[in-house]
Chains A and B, each alone.
Chain A
Amino acid sequence: KAGVTQTPRYLIKTRGQQVTLSCSPISGHRSVSWYQQTPGQGLQFLFEYFSETQRNKGNFPGRFSGRQFSNSRSEMNVSTLELGDSALYLCASSSSLSGGGNTQYFGPGTRLTVL
Chain B
Amino acid sequence: KQEVTQIPAALSVPEGENLVLNCSFTDSAIYNLQWFRQDPGKGLTSLLLIQSSQREQTSGRLNASLDKSSGRSTLYIAASQPGDSATYLCAVTLIKAAGNKLTFGGGTRVLVKP
Could you list which residues of chain A lie within 8 angstroms of chain B, going by C-beta atoms? 4, 31, 33, 35, 42-45, 48, 50, 55-56, 58, 88, 90, 92, 94, 96, 99-109, 111
Residue of A nearest to B107 (CB): A42
User: When A33-B101, A45-B103 are in contact, do A101 and B46 touch as well, CB less than 8 Å?
Assistant: no
Complex interface: chain A residues within 8 A of B61 (CB): none
Do residues A103 and B99 form an inter-chain contact, with CB atoms below 8 A? no
Do residues A100 and B93 form an inter-chain contact, with CB atoms below 8 A? yes
Q: How many A-B residue pairs have CB under 8 A?
A: 78
Q: Which of B37-89 contact A (CB under 8 A)?
A: 41-46, 49, 51, 89
**20 pairs, A vs B, C-beta closer than 8 Å:** A42-B105, A43-B91, A56-B98, A56-B99, A56-B100, A92-B102, A94-B100, A99-B98, A100-B31, A100-B99, A100-B100, A101-B32, A101-B51, A101-B95, A101-B100, A103-B34, A104-B46, A104-B102, A106-B43, A109-B43
